[in-house]
Amino acid sequence: MTPFGAKLRQLRADRHITLRAMATALDISPAYLSALEHGRRGAPSPGLIHQICEQFDLIWDDAHDLADLARLSKPKPKLDSAGLTPEQTALANRFARQLRHLPTATVTAIDDLLRAADAGPRPRAADASTRPRAPRKPLS
pTM of the model: 0.65
Indicate whether 49 and 95 sit together in one domain: no
Distance CA 24, CA 18 (A): 10
**Where residue 31 falls among pLDDT bands split at 50, 70, 90?**
very high
The three-state secondary structure class of 35 is helix
| 32 exposure class (CB count in 10 Å sphere: 0-12, 13-18, 19+) | middle
How much is the pLDDT for 129? 47
* 79 inside domain: no
Which residues form the domain of 47?
3-71
**Does some domain include residue 134?**
no
pLDDT band at 73 (very low <50, low <70, confident <90, very high): confident
43 found inside a domain: yes
**Total structural domains within the chain:** 2
Asked whether residue 40 carries a pLDDT value surpassing 60, the answer given is: yes
129 lies in some domain: no
What pLDDT, in 10s, does the model give residues 103-118? 999 999 999 998 898 8
